[in-house]
Structure 1
């Protein structure tokens, strides 16, 4: 578990290679009793941007540091945060501060360098000084695709994306997976779904291949075609599919659950339940867009645009909401209570109230996470407080704090898997007990 050490210091990361949604155990031994040390992680994204995190620890009387049991005394975070060296990764001091970590090459793992250094040192010293050598270092791999997972590029009619299939013959529960106004094709969540037993279609809807370069009016027919593709696949269960979306993808997921009968389970993360930015056409009816998110904002002292979101009134939202009561799907609303981009908690509660007032027959549930921001992703994705957004032409605040946001991502990821497994697998077998959510057993690589 140790790749490079001196002076008898041993740094271990267990396991050395694992799936990206799995935690690791970091320990250091061979130190002097009560020795001050700095732990540092570093990895690069698809654009070669370096992300780093560091934390200060003090060895115990045996000359050991165990991040699972000991509190950080300073650095990127303080206190007990076992996966803090991953959840709090931020752009290095020489990089643009407001950069979001992006992974597009999901067939190759993230390579993380973990090092331990003598003394409590700054991140600037760790990143700049050539004389700063680690007492011990380890190379750790974090995989998005488990063994045997397949990635299949999709060009089906107008549909563009990538299908990820688990190993084996299936059939597997199918999911349509969408992100927000970043555009393009983001595959890392679908790759991780497939590593956990789901057939997941990472669906692009603009700024990819021959799709429109910018956000334009949507047509539900495009998403119907994507569902058709999944249901026709021999390795996908034909009893119904799920959909998941974050931000703009959340309102697209809600529209799919409303207007496509074969969508039976919907996860909406920090979004609206009416069209936002651009409207959507459903046959001969057009649903206009909710008012622009970025019409009103202020700039903080450190140059971040802070959207001025407020709690929407139910009556105003109802006029623009999809007719959710007519749909055939179960809903799980994932909410970051510190979302600074969208009043997502208010919108989710309004949707919940709306379902309740309609005596909605299917499951609907809100999971709200204090301290979590807008960009809720699978576990141990680096927390991004703010990043450059083209629609605002500047850095937008997403909110959240690294520790609570990371804990949210771990809990939400498990709940999302259980939700889909129940509604796409167990209920298709006639099991209606919502407490019997079972998901494939996790295993290290």
Structure 2
């Protein structure tokens, strides 16, 4: 039935889940993400007589509900393996689909939240990909703060994935969100076995920390003094604080030397990164250098920075440890829910085509024995 009010209006099948917000007494700048992917998220849906606002509903004096139903969301399909990884210097968690494989491999990274987020890799493995959720700072014995990343660390991660007996050995993909996006581009530029690069709301140059490649260093993009402001709810908005990469050529990554197919997923209401601007700069650079492989930019109206797997609750702002205050991410609930679903389907199809189908007849590229039954 059509929703007549609340957090969204109209017909939106997963609107109840995608528009969840922190309870009135909780910290309002809270981002929902799943830490324990081996157990489902549990949402209790209750129906009450009349109309209750959030405060009334959470009050100990609220009337008993007329009906209750429990909604479970699983992150790992039956048979998916979760394997913690400590290989050389790399730290992360490998998720393998059920079966003998071989499966297309993917390195999966997030941004400046740090630590290790596994929920996207768990869902990728549930759809036929061997996915390595890779930490790159502030996790176990990795440095808490990093001024410079070394491409050798990411080469080691790719090496680990390619050596695995259940991973297709001709090459792997990489997915990066936010800071993970420019790291994904770095991997595509300097690691020949990267065949697919998916950047989600990221920059086309290093930010916050430089990149070391042998004796060369690509410095991070400088920040501007303008563009920051604090909203009435206390969240920091800094949409336009990074410089134009074209004015800092030493920071620009030579992505034109890559052998990868590129997909840039962009939230048109991203209020943290000028993601569409940087995506178009990357595509322009590839075009100017006569790049012959695929490069696509897909933009989703009304979606913010945190473009997550489908039906993850929309988060307009949340606390960020880098700045030690809440940061604005953008997006509106209804459009963000729709955008996440479309972007996920696009990414799965893109990865599958360029990791499996386009290489199935290549020399030394074995055919994959597993085909996902559905993309969502």
TM > 0.5 between the two? yes
Please classify the TM superposition score into its range, dividing by the shorter chain length.
over 0.9
- Residue 160 (1) aligns with residue 91 (2): yes
Q: Secondary structure at the match of 1:120?
A: coil
Rg larger for: 1
What is the match of residue 373 of structure 2? 441
Give distance in 1, aligned partners of 2:375 and 2:259.
34
Counterpart CA distance in 1 for 2:225 and 2:273 is: 10
Match of 1:369 among 264, 281, 300: 300
- How far the C-alpha of 1:312 sits from its partner, in A, is 5.9
Partner of 1:75, secondary structure, is: coil
Cα gap change, 1:314/1:210 in structure 2, threshold over 3 Å: closer, same or farther? closer
Q: Please name the residue that 2:159 is paired with.
A: 228
Contact 1:311/1:346 (CA < 8 Å) preserved in 2?
no
Residue of 225, 234, 250 corresponding to 1:303: 234
Helix, strand or coil at the partner of 2:48: strand
- The counterpart of 1:122, out of the listed 53, 56, 68, is 53
Q: Give 1:443 shift.
A: 9.4
Asked if the contact 2:109/2:134 (under 8 Å) is kept, the reply is: yes
Superposition TM-score, scaled by structure 1 size: 0.80
Structure 2 distance, partners of 1:350, 1:131, is 54
User: Shift in Å at residue 131 of structure 1?
Assistant: 3.1
Q: Is the 8 A contact 2:115 2:138 kept in 1?
A: yes
Shift of 1:118: 1.6
C-alpha separation between the residues in 2 aligned to 1:350 and 1:392?
A: 27
Following superposition, the deviation at residue 132 of structure 1 comes to 2.4
**How far apart, in 2, do the equivalents of 1:121 and 1:105 lie?**
32
Map 1:47-196 → 2, pairs under 5 A? 70-196=1-127
In the alignment, structure 2 segments of 5+ residues that lack a partner are 363-369
Distance 2:66 2:344 in 1: 35
Q: What is the match of residue 345 of structure 1?
A: 276
Q: Determine whether 1:316 maps to 2:244.
A: no
Distance of 2:97 and 2:327 partners within structure 1:
36
Distance 1:250 1:146 in 2: 27
Cα distance, 1:417 vs structure 2: 0.6
Q: In the alignment, what sits opposite 2:139?
A: 208
Q: 2:356 is paired with a residue of what secondary structure?
A: helix
Measured after TM superposition, the shift of residue 391 of structure 1 is 1.7
Q: Distance in 1 between matches of 2:197 and 2:343?
A: 14
Write the distance in 2 (CA, Å) between the matches of 1:162 and 1:293.
36
Report the secondary structure of 1:372's partner residue: coil
Shift of 1:137: 0.8
Instruction: Say whether the 8 Å CA contact 1:75–1:122 is kept in structure 2.
Output: no
- Stretches of structure 1 that go unaligned for 5 or more consecutive residues are 1-69, 432-437
- SS in structure 2 opposite 1:201? strand
Partner residue in 2 for 1:280: 211
Q: Is the 8 A contact 1:277 1:293 kept in 2?
A: no
Q: Which residue number in structure 2 is paired with residue 403 of structure 1?
A: 334
Q: By how many angstroms is 1:133 displaced?
A: 1.8
Distance 2:93 2:55 in 1: 39
Higher RCO (CA-CA < 8 Å; seq separation 6+): 2
* Cα distance per residue 1:30-69 (max 9 Å; x no partner): xxxxxxxxxxxxxxxxxxxxxxxxxxxxxxxxxxxxxxxx
1:288 to 1:312, Cα distance in 2 relative to 1, 3 A: closer
* Residue aligned with 2:251, SS: coil
* Root mean square deviation, CA, Å: 1.8
Shift of 1:195: 0.2
Higher strand share: 1
1:4 aligned partner: none
- Displacement, 1:81? 2.0
How far off its partner does 1:170 sit?
A: 0.2
* 2:367 equivalent in structure 1: none
- In the other structure, the counterpart of 2:366 is none
Q: Structure 1, residues 132-166: CA drift from partner, whole Å, max 9, x if none?
A: 22211111210000000000000000010000000
Give aligned pairs, total.
Answer: 369
Q: Which runs of 4+ in 1 moved over 6 A?
A: none
